[in-house]
Amino acid sequence: MDSSKRKFLALSSVTIASSLYGSGNTNVPKEAIAIKSHKAPIPKTTKPRVVVLGGGWSGLSIAKTVKTFSPQADVILVEKRYEFISCPVSNLWLVDKVELDYITHDYLQAARNYNYTYFNATATGIDKKSRILKTSEGDIAFDYLVLSPGIDYDYSKWTTDTTLITRLKQEYPAGFIPGSEHITLKNKIHNFKEGNFILTVPGGNYRCLPAPYERACIIADYFKQKKLKAKVILLDENNAITIKKKGFSSAFDELYADYLEYIPNSVIQDIDLDKKIVTTEFDEFTFADAAFYPRVRGAKILETMGFAKDAKDMMEGHINALTYEVIGEENIFIAGDARPMGFSKSGNTSNSEGKYVGNLIARRINKEKIPEWEAPITLCFSIVSTKPMNAIYIYTRYAFDKKDKNPKNIKFIDWKNFSFTKTLSSEEWKKEGSVNANSIYSWADALYFDMFGPK
């Protein structure tokens, strides 16, 4: 039988089965249409297995750290992407100040250098009782599971109209989930001719607090260099710039007075994409193009897996703030941007946080004393101009509020119970010797090397 006949018969069988099972025929046994699970093509092991879901800044740091401090562990990083694209530094890529290769990295390289397994698959569910993570490429048994799935967008403050939400995602993506969104945004910037270009700053603890302000500066800088009749309109849901206020304010006023308009307290009431009008509580704005950044929420996969009915609150009340464990689920952890604690949702924060979580898991495997809680670190550079390259930065550690009881007795600590300590910043971008490109690239190079190792 030739191949064309085989394909025809196979397709015919699928069509007949689909018609039969979709026709409401109640005589079809359930087992005939059930999708059987299968094991992932991963070698069996008698070693403790740690599965890390999500290959972002947190997941990569955790996978490396577990394997470093517990070499006998079988560590598997499950990630649906084929390559890593960095959100930090991507604003420079939007205006051709760095190459795509600079922010794109190789998961296989990280796995080779740090001796763990990169498994390219999408998580679909979990069997908590049997300790199995279900993926598009098969089931993976685990002893320890770390969920670092990042964030999803939450458009519900603006609209519940699914048609509008779909159009916003496709036509005016936020550009804070790496990949196609960034490519679309870059094309928008480079093809822009004139008029208003709207950007938004969401409320709440969104991903990378200074990034929308940095992006506004960089796009305004690009329009200024091109001498376009264009203006960036930055609609901020907050009542003031959320971070590095002095540095960004001075840049807005002194560098981009004709190219950037900052408007706080801009809570969006309506978006008309056909007429290209945004309506806030106090005003109405027309636009030629835009990138709408809504509020963020915990990744929906956390709901699918049954860890919370609603993960919009970043799993608030469901995670032990000292160990990152899901309350009631031993050795299942949630880390990175999906966690509720009020640490900055930034790459550096997730990377440093991952070292603590990874060390904690490694010590459990080694049957060693669990480490004392260690604060993550936020070190963040923000570019305010590209010619010359000037930036501002902030360095922050975190601590429990002194008003709290002994943190060891608290199962969950709300973000309001964290305070910022040892905060250092430089917002004087105008001064000679201020933060420049070399500092930014050195910071990025060090973190990329930490996660991926030598090429």
Report pLDDT digits (tens) over 64-115.
999 999 999 999 999 999 999 999 999 999 999 999 999 999 999 999 999 9
Could you tell me which residue, 28 or 39, shows the higher pLDDT? 39
> What is the rounded distance in angstroms from the CA atom of residue 371 to the CA atom of residue 373?
6
- Label residue 242 by pLDDT band (50, 70, 90): very high
What tokens does 289 get? 């193009």
pLDDT band at 32 (very low <50, low <70, confident <90, very high): very low
For residue 407, is pLDDT > 80? no
User: Distance between CA 57 and CA 15 in Å, rounded?
Assistant: 44
pLDDT of residue 394: 87
Are 423 and 385 within 8 A, CB to CB? no
Pick 390 or 14 by higher pLDDT: 390
- pLDDT score at 410: 34
| Residue 361 pLDDT grade (very low, low, confident, very high; cuts 50, 70, 90) | very high
Residue 315: the pLDDT is 64
Mean pLDDT is lowest, of 27-41, 137-151, 244-258, 321-335, for 27-41
Q: For residue range 177-212, what is the model confidence (pLDDT) as tens digits?
A: 999 999 999 999 999 999 999 999 999 989 999 999
**C-beta of residue 335 within 8 angstroms of C-beta of residue 357:** yes
Comparing 225-229, 233-237, 299-303, 359-363, the range with the smallest average pLDDT is 299-303
pLDDT digits (tens, 9 = 90+) for 330-351: 999 999 999 887 788 999 999 9
Identity of residue 454: P
Alpha-carbon torsion (61, 66, 71, 74), positive or negative: negative
List, in order, residues 6 or more apart from 450 with CB less than 8 Å away. Answer: 61, 64, 351
Domains along the sequence of the chain with CATH: 49-150+299-452 (3.50.50.60), 154-296 (3.50.50.60)
Q: Return d(Cα 239, Cα 97) in angstroms, integer.
A: 32
What pLDDT, in 10s, does the model give residues 151-164? 999 999 999 999 99
| Contact yes or no for 167/273 (Cβ under 8 A) | yes
Given the structure tokens 């080779």, which residue do they identify?
Answer: 112
Q: What is the separation, in whole angstroms, between the first and last Cα of the chain? A: 49
Dihedrals phi, psi of 91, to nearest 5 degrees: -60, -35
- CA 146 to centroid of chain Cα atoms: 15
Per the listing, tokens 């560098």 go with: 255
pLDDT score, position 431: 72
Quote the pTM value: 0.87
Cα–Cα distance, 58 to 349 (Å, whole number): 8
Which CA distances in Å does 168 have to 8, 75, 162, 176, 268?
40, 38, 10, 14, 14
**Distance of alpha carbon 167 from alpha carbon 267, whole angstroms:** 20
Region of poorest pLDDT, from 101-110, 250-259, 399-408, 437-446: 399-408
The angle at the Cα of 378, spanning 202 to 415, to the nearest 5 degrees, equals: 60
